[in-house]
Every structure is written in structure tokens, then in C-alpha cells.
Amino acid sequence: MATLTEEQAERMLAEMNEVIRAGEEMRKLRAELITVFAGFGWGQDRIARITDVSQPAVSKQLAKRRTDDPPAPMDLELDQRDTPWLEGRLWGLAEEISERFLESARCTPFVTAIARGKKRFTPRTVDELRRLVEEDLRLHRTQLPGTCRAAYDQISRGLDLATKAGKATKPVGSASVRRALARQLQRDQLQRDQLKGDQLKGDS
């Protein structure tokens, strides 16, 4: 009777464990974001609708994290200089490039691996993503708006300075929460810039 080899079983379980680990990390991130949203003053019903969980589950999560002192509000200005925030902005920029050029974008495999939990943000992987984004900016420079290059230049300078400066005052929020928020804000900014550019072209 045919059977699996040990190597086949290891490969199969490695892929399964990556999916499970990614799911656990996303659940943890969602739980942290519930607390962040509550810090914005949002009601539990609103948070439940946005996060697609029940209101009792939101209430339970907030009770777990309740302390005597209310959480400090998070700064949502795009131009912040801590490393997780800059990594999130780089991630958002890479996703925008990937969606525009799909498989022809050098950063698409990296973006896909992040989404599937096969890659994590480390100094090495961030350097890798920077190189991929730089290559895409060069290869697609005639098709990408200048706002993509401007965003990358700002992010790249910030990462270089953060590396040289070492540890600074810890900002509000965990690294994963800050990455997720910066990623979304960067994507929103690029999409607004693109819309404005398209409107100006239409008016001219």
C-alpha cells in the first residue's frame, strides 16, 4: 500500500502551519484593532459591524484589555518616523504597484507571501522589499504617477534614519497594528492622488 514519505508529510504540514499561523496572527491583529477603534470613540455596534464579529465578542475583547487608564489616542498622520509605521507604508506602496501591474510587478510575489503569512517583516525582508519596489519604480516609471516615487523616497529616507537613530520613544500601538494602519493610510493617499491626477487630466 502506498504511503507518504516523511519529507512529503513535512512539506504538507509546513504549508498548513503557515496558513494556520497567518490566521492566528490576523485574529490577534483584529483584536488589537478593536481596542484602537474604541480609542477613537467608536461604539461597540459600529466596531462589530466593521470587524464582522458580534457585539458581545467586541465587548468581551474590550473588557480583556480594559485598564485604569484609557489608551492614548493614536496619531494617524501619514508622515511618522518609527520603523513599523514606515514598513507599513512601504507595504501599502508595494500593494498598489502590485495591483496595477500584477505578475509583471517585481514586488508581487513578496506581497502575496506577506498576505499568506509566508513572510514577516524583518530587517532582511524589508531590505528585500525596498529593492523590489525600487526596481518596479524604475521599470514602470513612465506608467506610475510621480506620487509613488515621492512616497518611496520619503519612506526610504525615514527607514535609513530610523536604522541610524536606533531605539526612540515608543509610539502608541503594537508594531503589527502600526504597520496595518500605515499600510491602509498609504494606499488611501496614493488612490486619492491618482484620482486628483485623473481629474486634472480630464479638465485639461
Per-residue tens of pLDDT for the chain, all 204 residues: 666 777 877 877 787 787 788 888 888 999 999 988 888 888 999 999 988 989 999 999 888 877 656 666 788 899 999 999 999 999 999 999 999 999 899 999 999 999 888 899 999 999 999 999 999 999 999 999 999 999 999 999 999 998 766 556 678 889 999 999 999 999 999 999 988 877 777 766
Q: What is the pLDDT of residue 88?
A: 97
75-to-72, 81, 171 alpha-carbon distances in Å: 9, 12, 9
Rg (CA), the chain: 20
76: how many CB neighbours lie within 10 A of its CB? 12
Global pTM value:
0.85
What secondary structure letter does DSSP report for 73? P
Residue 14 burial class via C-beta count within 10 angstroms: exposed 0-12, middle 13-18, buried 19 and up = exposed
Residue written as grid cell 500584477: 102
